[in-house]
Amino acid sequence: MLLGFWAAAFSGPAGETESCKTGRGPKTKLSEYGFFAGNLSDLKPATGVFTYDVNAPLFSDYAEKARFIYLPEGTQMAWNDSTAFQFPDGAAIIKNFYYPNDASKPDAGRRILETRLLIKEPKGWKALEYIWNVEQTDAMLEVTGASFPFSWRNAGGKVQQIQYVAPNINQCKGCHSYDGQFVPIGINARQLNRENSDDNQLLMWNKQGRLSLPPGFKPETGPRLSDYRQFSGPLVDRARAYLDSNCGHCHNPRGPAGSSGMFLDISQNNPERLGVGKAPVAAGRGSGNRKFGIVPGEPGESILLFRMENNDPGIRMPELGRQLAHHEGIELIKSWIKEMK
């Protein structure tokens, strides 16, 4: 009750101007930000809000995502070669998690479960979690996260069931960390350098004044992750893209798993640092009695794969953000390890 009172007391009034969508403290309801026009569940972007997509998405229990960025009028993102783009104060990253009611029937609609906001404030990024109601008319602020049963039909018509978990604020900080600072995940050049419709996403934003690009930037020579979901690209590129997007934000020298000595970000080229022939820093149940992170040619002996396959909260990797094993991702990494010399 105190949280709801505090949020309501500092929320901006309905119909506030475009330039202050994210101002005056967290809103009690998602609708109060004015990010979307018309019926909220249609996710039709309002003024200053635009969609974005990534090359190699983070697996989240097979949930699909509708991604948006909000920039205050007259502002833009600033380029960075390897880490997250720089955002102006008042900007927001809006990620909506949903499942189709029946993936085998595209017209059967969807159910949005949560919306995660990252709002850029003068002191840094603030993470906020909103849980949608059953009626799909709005989403309410939940700082402690949420857990509830949910079911849907996959593309094969089979009913899937899960105990869906939306993170709390501290769990968000557990992954969104770089050099001890809270940072966005996936808002970087290698993820966003992609073709959408008939134009490159980065070039389009540059033309629209939403992003500053370095002089002479060319998409074909710029940083770019492979789409691991496509089978046309080289296996090693797809596997490394998958590890970068699903593991690399923690497993890098400046991330939360930096002490592990196992670095899975795309910039890592030292085989031992990738885990090849590397013994774990701390053994225990997480090793599954296996001796090395990756054993070339032997996925069944590799700790990396063991932890990807496991659903035990004390063993699985990633530790947060999933309840289910990602079967397609497991098969990809298994094939990559099998091919290693």
pLDDT, tens digit, 9 for 90 and up, residues 250-268:
888 888 878 888 999 999 9
Question: 176 vs 141, which has greater pLDDT?
Answer: 141
Evaluate whether 333 touches 308 at the Cβ level (below 8 Å).
yes
Phi/psi at 6 (nearest 5 deg)? Answer: -65, -45
The predicted structure's pLDDT at residue 334: 97
Strands (E) located in the chain: 36-37, 44-45, 49-51, 64-70, 77-78, 92-100, 110-121, 124-132, 139-141, 146-153, 159-166, 177-178, 181-182, 195-196, 199-200, 211-212
Which residues lie closer than 8 Å to 143 by C-beta, 6 or more apart?
3, 128, 129, 168, 169
Whole-number percent of the chain with pLDDT over 90? 71
Q: How confident is the model at residue 175 (pLDDT cuts 50, 70, 90)?
A: confident
Residue 269 has which token pair? 């080229």
Whole-number percent of the chain with pLDDT over 70? 92
pLDDT, tens digit, 9 for 90 and up, residues 99-142:
999 998 889 999 999 999 999 999 999 999 999 999 999 999 99
The predicted structure's pLDDT at residue 7: 35
The predicted structure's pLDDT at residue 126: 93
pLDDT at residue 239 is higher than 90: yes
Please give the Cα distance from 18 to 53 (Å, whole number). Answer: 23
Helix and strand tally (H, E) in the chain?
Answer: 8, 16
Phi/psi at 301 (nearest 5 deg)? Answer: -100, 5
Burial of 317 (0-12, 13-18, 19+ CB in 10 A): buried
Which residues lie closer than 8 Å to 198 by C-beta, 6 or more apart?
none
Q: What is the arithmetic mean of pLDDT over 167-183?
A: 74
Q: How confident is the model at residue 11 (pLDDT cuts 50, 70, 90)?
A: very low
Task: Tell me the angle at which helices 327-339 and 235-246 cross, rounded to the nearest 10 degrees.
Answer: 130
pLDDT, tens digit, 9 for 90 and up, residues 184-219:
999 999 999 999 878 999 999 999 999 999 999 999
The predicted structure's pLDDT at residue 93: 98
pLDDT at residue 301 is higher than 60: yes
pLDDT at residue 3 is higher than 80: no
The predicted structure's pLDDT at residue 178: 67
The predicted structure's pLDDT at residue 10: 32
Q: How confident is the model at residue 20 (pLDDT cuts 50, 70, 90)?
A: low
Rounded to the nearest integer, the mean pLDDT of the chain is: 89
Please give the Cα distance from 77 to 36 (Å, whole number). Answer: 21
Residue 271 has which token pair? 């085989």
Q: How confident is the model at residue 60 (pLDDT cuts 50, 70, 90)?
A: very high
Pairing of strands 177-178, 181-182: antiparallel
For the chain, the maximum distance between any two Cα atoms, rounded to a whole number of angstroms, is 62
Taking the alpha carbons at both ends of the chain, their separation in whole angstroms is 59
The predicted structure's pLDDT at residue 173: 65
Q: Where are the domains of the chain?
A: 2-212, 226-339
